[in-house]
């Protein structure tokens, strides 16, 4: 298996093109199941998760083609997805266990065909992550749900009916499933305590351009007036705010100055404020964001993760790597996922001083980290080790690179082009 080798201590200088958002792309791709006409998605990132979802969609009967190459004025990949006929309503365990987001086929399949059998995703590295809210949303729209042999079996033979969906906690995925299901339900649906992440707004915009009638996406209350059918559309995916935030933190930990081209400041405002609190300068540019660190050491500050517009859980591990090298103490509290501190022992092996108690980690900043062979069990934890490696003295070897490939396109090439000593080393297997 490939590894990433980093020799730390070099500041970053240059510009990085931010790709389309993985977490927007995945629900957008499943939206193709709602219509028999083609859905063309532009500015898609080229990532393992996108390929995994393509495989799942193909086995449902979707044809996936690449109508054009990426061009200089329109970066990113283009995919045409057409679900002319659904040939299978089953999402098998083997594909769903590889990527939780596969559960996003549930809403569209029930809405279009009146039934779906989707495997329960099972355990995952960052906690139990149940799907009860996805199920409740569909029940509120009149679907009958049975759990049989590890599968969610949802049926609505006469179609879904509009209803009120009240989420007890904010869930991005369940809001997305609810939106897609309600788009084709008969009558009006209201989603209360909806997730407000930018990816929800992007999905709603795409669905509306397919003929849906959705209002209020981006707020806590979304109203959907169901339509009998949706049609094809062309939609461009929003920039990846987690990739953006990760490179903001790369500039902060390594020092220097990075311009993040195509990034949206509003989507990363909480992370920008946190970075400014540590002494990093974050500037809004007409077509992106500029991040620079001039100070020698950053200041330790406390943060807690929260649903959007709060500090994203997907940037928690990266921010911890940064705080590990800051001047002073900090506390990072994870409020979204249990068990999302797997990066802590690895950072400590690099010389960090971090203690976890329940949902909080106390970090005593150290003057320097030391390179070491490390590995992590999830995507964001892995990238936090890459960031730590950029600041560490000596060589860091990050194992299990497949996690990084799920969410970061050409990470090592993008960082190397800005002066980092980073390379991919082919492994023996």
206 is catalytic: no
Instruction: Please name which of 152, 144, 146 lies closest in space to residue 121, comparing C-alpha atoms.
Output: 152
Q: How far is the CB of 292 from ligand UD1 (least distance, A)?
A: 28
User: What is the CA angle 47-266-328, rounded to 5?
Assistant: 90
Q: How far is the CB of 314 from ligand UD1 (least distance, A)?
A: 5
Reduce the DSSP state of residue 305 to 3 states and report it. strand
Among 169, 219, 339, 355, binds ligand UD1 (CB under 6 A): 169
Distances from the Cα of 324 to the Cαs of 63, 146, 329, 391, in angstroms? 47, 47, 9, 10
How many CB atoms are closer than 10 A to CB 272? Answer: 22
Residues 6 or more apart from 366 whose CB is under 8 A from it? 324, 325, 351, 352, 353
Residue 119, token pair as written in the block: 């495997």
User: What is the CA angle 217-120-337, rounded to 5?
Assistant: 60
**Are the C-beta atoms of 384 and 343 separated by less than 8 Å?**
yes
Residue number of the CB closest to ligand UD1 reads 173
Residue 378 binds to ligand UD1 (criterion: CB under 6 A): no
The size of the interface with ligand UD1 (CB under 6 A), counted in residues, is 21
Q: How far is the CB of 429 from ligand UD1 (least distance, A)?
A: 29
Residue 238 binds to ligand UD1 (criterion: CB under 6 A): no
Among 95, 237, 248, 336, binds ligand UD1 (CB under 6 A): 336
Among 133, 178, 347, 404, binds ligand UD1 (CB under 6 A): 133
Among 202, 240, 259, 314, binds ligand UD1 (CB under 6 A): 314
Reduce the DSSP state of residue 111 to 3 states and report it. helix
Residue 334 binds to ligand UD1 (criterion: CB under 6 A): no
Among 112, 134, 196, 424, binds ligand UD1 (CB under 6 A): 134
Reduce the DSSP state of residue 252 to 3 states and report it. helix
Q: Between 138 and 392, name the residue whose CB sits nearer to ligand UD1.
A: 138
Residue 129 binds to ligand UD1 (criterion: CB under 6 A): yes
Residue 119 binds to ligand UD1 (criterion: CB under 6 A): no
Residue 414 binds to ligand UD1 (criterion: CB under 6 A): no
Residue 177 binds to ligand UD1 (criterion: CB under 6 A): no
Instruction: Please name which of 281, 303, 302 lies closest in space to residue 291, comparing C-alpha atoms.
Output: 281
* Helix (H) or strand (E) run with residue 222 in it: strand 221-225
Catalytically annotated residue among 32, 124, 206, 418: 124
User: Please, which of residues 16-75 interact with ligand UD1 by CB under 6 A?
Assistant: 23, 26
- Output phi, psi for 249, to 5 deg: -75, -30
Catalytic residue ranges: 124
Residues that bind ligand UD1 (CB under 6 A): 23, 26, 100-101, 127, 129-134, 169, 171-174, 199, 313-314, 336-337
């Amino acid at each position: 298996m490939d590894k990433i080798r980093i020799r730390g201590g070099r500041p970053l200088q240059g510009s990085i093109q931010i790709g389309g958002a993985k977490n927007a792309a995945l629900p957008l791709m499943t939206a193709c199941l709602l219509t028999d006409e083609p859905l063309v998605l532009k500015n898609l990132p080229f990532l393992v998760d996108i390929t995994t979802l393509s495989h799942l969609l193909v086995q449902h009967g979707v044809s996936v083609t690449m109508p054009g190459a990426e061009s200089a004025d329109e970066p990113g990949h283009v995919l045409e997805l057409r679900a002319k006929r659904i040939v299978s309503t089953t999402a098998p365990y083997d594909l769903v266990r590889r990527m939780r987001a596969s559960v996003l086929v549930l809403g569209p399949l029930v809405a279009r065909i009146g039934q779906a059998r989707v495997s329960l995703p099972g355990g995952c590295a960052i906690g139990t992550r149940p799907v009860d809210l996805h199920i409740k949303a569909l029940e509120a729209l009149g679907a009958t749900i049975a759990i049989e042999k590890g599968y969610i079996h949802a049926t609505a033979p006469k179609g879904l009916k509009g209803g009120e969906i009240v989420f007890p906690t904010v869930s991005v995925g369940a809001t997305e499933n609810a939106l897609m299901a309600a788009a084709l339900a008969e009558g009006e649906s209201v989603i209360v305590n909806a997730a407000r992440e930018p990816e929800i707004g992007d999905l709603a915009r795409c669905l509306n351009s397919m003929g849906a009638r959705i209002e209020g996406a981006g707020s806590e209350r979304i109203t959907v007036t169901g339509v009998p059918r949706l049609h094809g559309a062309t939609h461009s995916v929003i920039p990846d705010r987690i990739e953006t935030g990760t490179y903001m933190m790369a500039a902060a930990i390594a020092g220097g100055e990075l311009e993040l081209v195509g990034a949206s400041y509003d989507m990363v405002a909480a992370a920008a404020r946190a970075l400014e609190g540590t002494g990093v300068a974050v500037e809004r540019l007409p077509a992106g964001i500029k991040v620079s660190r001039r100070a020698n050491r950053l200041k330790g500050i406390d943060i807690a993760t929260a649903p959007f517009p709060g500090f994203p859980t997907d940037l928690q591990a990266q921010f911890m790597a940064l705080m590990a090298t800051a001047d002073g103490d900090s506390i990072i509290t994870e409020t979204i996922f249990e068990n999302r501190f797997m990066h802590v022992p690895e950072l400590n092996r690099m010389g960090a001083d971090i203690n976890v108690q329940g949902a909080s980690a106390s970090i005593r900043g150290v003057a320097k980290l030391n390179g070491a062979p490390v590995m992590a069990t999830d995507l964001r934890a892995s990238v936090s080790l890459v960031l730590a490696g950029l600041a560490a003295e000596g060589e860091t070897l990050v194992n299990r690179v497949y996690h990084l490939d799920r969410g970061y396109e050409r990470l090592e090439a993008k960082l190397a082009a800005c002066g980092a000593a980073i390379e991919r080393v082919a492994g023996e297997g």
